[in-house]
Amino acid sequence: MAQAGSAEGSSMVQVLPGLYLGGWAEAGSALGPLVGSVLMVDTEEPEPAELGKRILHIPALDQPDTDLLSRLDECAAFLSAARRDGGGLAALVRCHAGVSRSVAVVTAYLMKTNNLTFEEAYAAVKAAKPDAKMNEGFEWQLKLYEAMGCKVDTTSAVYKQYRLQKVTEKFPELHSMPREVFAVDPTTVSQTLNSEALYRCRKCRRSLYRSSSILSHAEGNGPAAFARKRIPEPALLHADGQAKCTSYFIEPVQWMEPVLLGVMEGQLLCPKCTSKLGSFSWRGEQCSCGRWVTPAFQIHKSRVDEVQALPIYGRQTFKI
């Protein structure tokens, strides 16, 4: 197997049959003629030796807050097609140094195609390329990818929380929020077309959000997670002493938009009767169970009623 060095000491290595990993210098390496497809994870333009090859360019900086997660399925599809339809030519995944961005993409590809855990796939890449070391942000994103079953599911709570955290990182500079961040206001769609549980204001019965908007979280450490003055009352504890979750943490809903932009934290009020439902904070808030959630859009369970849809004779009725 041919290898080429670079200023950073990187070299092209074979990870799977027909799949190579390397840095920018490999575009003109001795192995170059054997490469038919190049997946660039870099901010730079293609090298002259790459012109004429099949190219997928993912503009990305090697920084922890760079979003690779949303592009991983696209990368996997490109690499699978390149290996399948390459006519004997290999696919190369490269970034500048060949140690972080490209490593993250190849690790995700192994996870998806070989049914490996993050740890197993990363270990396999490092065995082929000992200098491989993706940044901690990419590690976190690949663990989220694993949690979603190695598929970018934009409807999952995992992805919604990730997307909100990406918005939070840019919050001080935001002049508007991406529309996809907001769940549809349930009052704008027909309730008979959706079998999800609906949550309504306990005071005025205004529909607020659906069960798919709830972002679940692992329970925290209970009383041990709180300062002494904030230890929950015994009535708010499970039988084993763990604190109960007394709030729902949800994704933003369209009716919240006017109060969220440009404000780090505040109250969430019913858009109809203005009764207090909960609070929000882009910095995060602590659930009663002790878990810290960031960002936090918190609705107190005592302020809403859950309404279940029950199909009866081909129609749907709702039960509180």
CA dihedral 138, 144, 147, 151 (to 10 degrees): -80
Q: Are 40 and 34 in contact (CB under 8 A)?
A: no
Active site residue 287: no
Q: Are 60 and 70 in contact (CB under 8 A)?
A: no
- Sign of the dihedral defined by the CA atoms of residues 206, 284, 67, 76, in that order: negative
- CA 163/CA 182 separation, integer angstroms: 11
- Closest among 96, 37, 100 to 66, alpha carbons compared: 100
Q: Which of 95, 270, 287, 289 is catalytic?
A: 95
Return the structure tokens found at 188: 């704008």
Q: Are 113 and 45 in contact (CB under 8 A)?
A: no
Which residue's entry shows tokens 């209970």?
A: 222
Q: Are 244 and 285 in contact (CB under 8 A)?
A: no
Which residue's entry shows tokens 């993050």?
A: 118
Active site residues: 95
